[in-house]
Amino acid sequence: MNIEKRVSELVGQKISDRPDLFLVDVKMHPNGKLIILVDGDNGIGISDCVAISRHVGFHLEEEDAIEHAYNLEVSSPGIDTPLKQVRQYQKNIGRSVAVKLNDGSKREGKLVEVTEHGIKLEEKIKEKGKKAEIVESLIPFADITETKVLISFK
């Protein structure tokens, strides 16, 4: 049995009545750490993480799904965690992001739109001796290797 797939199903059951919540990732590490990342359109609270943890833990024990000792962690993705789901992109519209592309280049700008196919980025392009221009460009998800939200301390 694929434990990550089973855990994804269990999380799906638990949050089925909460359309604002969504599963981001499930990862079973070789050291026995089972990490579940869940997010919400308006964030996710500790009580939701606890409820998901109890539900998943109970069923894994009942099914004796993992033979070895494991440590179950349920949390929201940290601010430094790359965006994976379209819904994560959507909840970060208006924020500055750093985007790494397949060709190795990097782009930075304000995330202004998200579609099922990609994102629209508003970048400030400054050429020497000229005033900075605001340029919007579409970047297909297929061209993106990683997107992270930039934290501003202004």
Query: pLDDT digits over 52-67, tens only?
Result: 999 999 999 999 888 8
In this predicted model, which residue has the larger pLDDT, 94 or 1? 94
What pLDDT, in 10s, does the model give residues 51-109? 999 999 999 999 988 888 899 999 999 888 999 999 999 999 999 999 999 999 999 99
Amino acid identity at 80: D
| Helix residue ranges, H only, 43-126 | 46-63, 86-91
Q: Please tell me which residue, 85 or 154, carries the higher pLDDT value.
A: 85
Residue 153 has pLDDT above 80, yes or no: no
Q: Which CATH number does 86-149 carry?
A: 2.30.30.100
Tokens 């409820």, located at residue = 51
Which residues make up the CATH 2.30.30.100 domain(s) of the chain? 86-149
The hierarchical CATH code for the domain 3-75 is: 3.30.300.70
- Where does CATH 3.30.300.70 sit in the chain? 3-75
Q: How far is CA 81 from CA 39, 91, 139, in A?
A: 12, 14, 20
Q: Is the pTM of the predicted complex or chain greater than 0.85?
A: no
